[in-house]
Amino acid sequence: MLLKPRVERCVYSWMGYPCETLVCAAIEELDPASIYLDKVGTPVCSALWMVDREDPSKLLPIGAINEILVEGPSVARGYYRDPTNTITSFMPPPPFVRKRGSSS
């Protein structure tokens, strides 16, 4: 990959981590002149939640080291015929996510 060093560092920091979502959960133009290379970007057909790594029911403020949860139709419901991996990789909706079909 031929990128400017700052952009390359940002891109490589996202590679190699497992995720149970689509190929593109967020999009952002990575401009080497930008001061915001750590920006996640704009969600694509989803909602992104920044949560505590140890407690995904806890939202974290902007700039905190976090885990990203992706909510939306692009996220799988589980692994096909593999309930063991489904249980370990997927979680029920956290309390801050509004239940669909509900006004609360």
Average pLDDT value for residue range 58-79: 86
The total of structural domains in the chain comes to 1
Tokens of 26: 């967020």
Spell out the SS3 assignment of 25-92: CEECCCCCCCCCCCCCCEECCCEEEEECCCCCCCECCCCCCCEEEEECCCCCCCCCCCHHHHHHHCCC
For residue 48, tell me if it sits in a domain.
yes
Least confident of 6-10, 57-61, 70-74: 6-10
Mean of pLDDT over the chain: 76
For residue 28, tell me if it sits in a domain.
yes
For residue 103, tell me if it sits in a domain.
no
**Domain assignment of residue 68, given as a range:** 1-95
For residue 102, tell me if it sits in a domain.
no
For residue 101, tell me if it sits in a domain.
no
For residue 104, tell me if it sits in a domain.
no
Q: What was the pLDDT predicted at 49?
A: 92
Average pLDDT value for residue range 10-35: 65
